[in-house]
C-alpha cells in the first residue's frame, strides 16, 4: 500500500536518516525537514532547511502532506528553556500546521524516558502515569499531552511512539531491555502511519522484542506491528550482561541520576 505524501521532520538525524531511506520507495512524495541542509536523492524527495520554532516555515513546508512523522527536536537532556522551545513549541507548530492543513495522521516521537523512574521490576504500560527521568523526559511528556489535546479538541489522528534505545546493535546492559533496532523502528513508524483511521489517539512503546524488556508491546488492534529483533542475541558481546539487575533500580538507569540533570541547572 502506498503512503501518499509523507513529511519527515528531523530527517538528518539518526532515526530520520534510516526512516528516510526505508520509506522513500513507498511514498509518493517525501517532504524532508531539518535545520541541517539536505539534498534530494530521488525525484520524489522535497527538502526544506527550516527551524521548527518558525511557525510560518513549518506551515509552508508541510503544505500538501497527508501524514507527518515528527522526529525533530533536542534529543537529550538540556536546559529546560531550550527543550521547551525546540521540543514543545516545535511540536505545537507541527500540530498546528496539521490542523490548518487537514493532515490525516501525525506520528510524534516521544521517549521511553517519560516513565524512567518506574523500577526495573515493573512492566510499564502506556496508560500508567508518567514518571519522567529528567527535563528532556518532561518535554516529551508535554508533547504527548499536546498530541492528546489536538486529537480530543480538533480531531487530529495522533500516534505517540515512546522510542527505546535506538542503536544499530545493543552495547550496554540496559540496552538488553530497551534496545530498538533500526528494522523495528521502521516497522513501528510504518505501522503508526497506516493504523486505522479509527485510531484517534494512541501511545505505544517502540521497543524490540527483547527478552528482558520492561515495557508492554503495543496492542495489535491499535498498532499492527510485532517486533522481530531481540537484544538477547547480542548479550554475549556486552560486558556485564550476565550480572543480575537490581529490581528496585529505575528503568532509566544513569539518566535517573541527579548529576544527569544538575549540569543543566543554574548552580
Please, which residues have CB within 8 angstroms of residue 83's CB and are 6 or more apart in sequence?
A: 74, 135, 136, 138, 139
Q: Is 259 helix (H, G, I), strand (E, B) or coil?
A: helix
Neighbours of 214 (CB within 10 A): 21
Whole-number Å distance between alpha carbons of 91 and 70: 8
Catalytic residue among 118, 136, 150, 255: 136
> In this structure, what are the phi and psi dihedrals at residue 203, rounded to the nearest 5 degrees?
-125, 135
pLDDT of residue 143: 98
* Residue 103 DSSP SS3: coil
**Three cell numbers at 93?**
507548530
* Residues β-bridged to residue 32: 8, 47
Note the maximum CA span of the chain: 54
What is the distance between the alpha carbons of residues 249 and 209, in angstroms, rounded to a whole number?
Answer: 21
Using only C-alpha atoms, the chain has a radius of gyration, in whole angstroms, of 18
N- to C-terminal Cα distance for the chain?
54
| Positive or negative: CA dihedral 118, 120, 122, 124 | positive
Residue 188 falls in the annotated catalytic set: no
If DSSP codes are grouped into helix, strand and coil, which group holds residue 208?
coil
Domains and CATH numbers, the chain: 5-262 (3.40.50.720)
Query: Cα separation of 144 and 114, whole Å?
Result: 10
pLDDT digits (tens, 9 = 90+) for 78-99: 999 999 999 999 999 999 999 9
In order of 47, 104, 181, 183, 267, the CA distances from 224 in angstroms are 30, 18, 17, 15, 47
- Strands (DSSP E) contained in the chain are 5-9, 29-34, 45-49, 67-70, 105-111, 157-163, 165-166, 179-180, 201-206
**pLDDT at res. 267:** 83
pLDDT at 238: 97
DSSP state of 28: S
pLDDT tens, residue by residue, 108-138: 999 999 999 999 999 999 999 999 999 999 9
**pLDDT tens, the chain, 267 aa long:** 579 999 999 999 999 999 999 999 999 999 999 999 999 999 999 999 999 999 999 999 999 999 999 999 999 999 999 999 999 999 999 999 999 999 999 999 999 999 999 999 999 999 999 999 999 999 999 999 999 999 999 999 999 999 999 999 999 999 999 999 999 999 999 999 999 999 999 999 999 999 999 999 999 989 999 999 999 999 999 999 999 999 999 999 999 999 999 999 988
**Angle separating helix axes 14-23 and 182-194, nearest 10 degrees:** 60
Amino acid at each position: 500500500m502506498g503512503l501518499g505524501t509523507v513529511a519527515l521532520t528531523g530527517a538528518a538525524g539518526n532515526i530520520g536518516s534510516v526512516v528516510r531511506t526505508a520509506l522513500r520507495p513507498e511514498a509518493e512524495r517525501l517532504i524532508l525537514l531539518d535545520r541541517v541542509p539536505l539534498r534530494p536523492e530521488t525525484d520524489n524527495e522535497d527538502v526544506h532547511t527550516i527551524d521548527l520554532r518558525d511557525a510560518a516555515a513549518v506551515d509552508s513546508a508541510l503544505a500538501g502532506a497527508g501524514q507527518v512523522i515528527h522526529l525533530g527536536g533536542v534529543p537529550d537532556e538540556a536546559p529546560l528553556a531550550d527543550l521547551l522551545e525546540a521540543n514543545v513549541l516545535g511540536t505545537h507548530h507541527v500540530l498546528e500546521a496539521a490542523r490548518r492543513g487537514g493532515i490525516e495522521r501525525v506520528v510524534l516521537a516521544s521517549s521511553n524516558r517519560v516513565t524512567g523512574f518506574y523500577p526495573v521490576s515493573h512492566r510499564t504500560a502506556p496508560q500508567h502515569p508518567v514518571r519522567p527521568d529528567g527535563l528532556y523526559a518532561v518535554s516529551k511528556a508535554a508533547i504527548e499531552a499536546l498530541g492528546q489535546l489536538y486529537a480530543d479538541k480538533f480531531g487530529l489522528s495522533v500516534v505517540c511512539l515512546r522510542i527505546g534505545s535506538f542503536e544499530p546493535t545493543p552495547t550496554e546492559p540496559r540496552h538488553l531491555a530497551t534496545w530498538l533496532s533500526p528494522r523495528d523502528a521502521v516497522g513501528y513508524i510504518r505501522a503508526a502511519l497506516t493504523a486505522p483511521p479509527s485510531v484517534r489517539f494512541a501511545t505505544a512503546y517502540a521497543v524490540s522484542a527483547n527478552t528482558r524488556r520492561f515495557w508492554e508491546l503495543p496492542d495489535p488492534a491499535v498498532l499492527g506491528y510485532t517486533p522481530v529483533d531481540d537484544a538477547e542475541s547480542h548479550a554475549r558481546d556486552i560486558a556485564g550482561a550476565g550480572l543480575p539487575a537490581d529490581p528496585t533500580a529505575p528503568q532509566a538507569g544513569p539518566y535517573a541520576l541527579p548529576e544527569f540533570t544538575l549540569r543543566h541547572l543554574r548552580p
